[in-house]
Structures are given as C-alpha cells and as structure tokens.
Amino acid sequence: MVTRNGKFTRKEIAYLRSLPAVASVVDERITYSETFKYHCMERYAHGESPVQIFRDSGLDSSLIGYKRIERCIARWRRTVLPKVEGVDASQVKGHKPGRRPGSTNLRNRNPNDSAALREMLLSAQLQRLDRLEREIKDLREQMQEELRQAHDDAKAELAAAEAAKSAAGRG
C-alpha cells in the first residue's frame, strides 16, 4: 500500500527492487528501467490501460498509486513515445507534437521485448519465491530447534524439581 507520506516500507522497497521493470527505488522514488518505459509506451500506444500495463509488470496501483502511474505516462508520452518504432506518436491520445524524435528504439535493441520483459519478470518472481521458500524452511528449522531446546529445558527443570522433592521427602 502507498503510505501516508508517499514513502515505501522496507518490504515494499525489497519487492520493487526485485522487479525487472524497476531500475532503482528509494523511500519515495522509483526509477524505471528503460526497457520497461519503451515496453509501456508501446502497449500504451496500442490502446492498453496504463494501470493494466503497470499491473502486468508487478506494479499494482495499490502499491505505487494511480498518481505515480499517471505522471509516468504523461512524462513518457513526451520523452519515450516519440522514440518507439512503428508508432505514430501524433496519433496517440495525449501526445504533444513537436517533441524531439529519437534515433534509438526498443525494437532495435531487442526485437522480442514483450517476451523478454515477461521472462525477466517471471524470473525475478521465481527468484523471490525461491528466497521466500528458503526463508520459510530456515524459520521452520529455527522454530523446531527452539521447541526442542524448550522441551529439553522443561524436562531438566522437571527432573530437578522431582529430585528436590525426593531429597526433601528423605530429609
């Protein structure tokens, strides 16, 4: 959830850092990867919802907020959209003509960008799942060890109490 002052929790930051769409994140600022920006603008140019595009990349609006998504789209329409190959930026809703055209584009860098982004996202999610499963296993082992230790301590205390009772009964 987006916190009151716009800052992310440590867990949210860790999650965001695990996403291929995120280049970096600090308390209240996310920097997105160039690949994600191009991928996002390509899908946006074809009529997809910005919220859905972000959600598909693990960036749900409940985490980052609608306003952040709106601002990114507005900024990238000016800076990234003119560089996306195969898209007539002037035909995209909200595009401001006269912005600088770019010589580089996503397709020249990676012809299978959509698949690559999905694969990177899936890979990051699988790595996170593996880390969480290992953490659960470690915590279970730690809990079992603590239970064993508590059981042994209780047995020792019971034996000591019985020995003291026995000694008191003899004396």
Judge whether 97 and 117 are in contact, CB under 8 Å: no
Output the pLDDT for position 109: 41
Q: Does pTM top 0.75 for this prediction?
A: no
pLDDT (tens digit, 9 = 90+) per residue, 8-18? 888 989 999 99
| pLDDT level of residue 116 (50, 70, 90 thresholds) | low
pLDDT digits (tens, 9 = 90+) for 20-61: 999 999 988 999 999 999 999 889 988 899 999 999 999 998
CA distance 41 to 76: 7
- Half-sphere exposure in the Cβ direction for 109 (13 Å, CA): 15
Return d(Cα 86, Cα 83) in angstroms, integer: 9
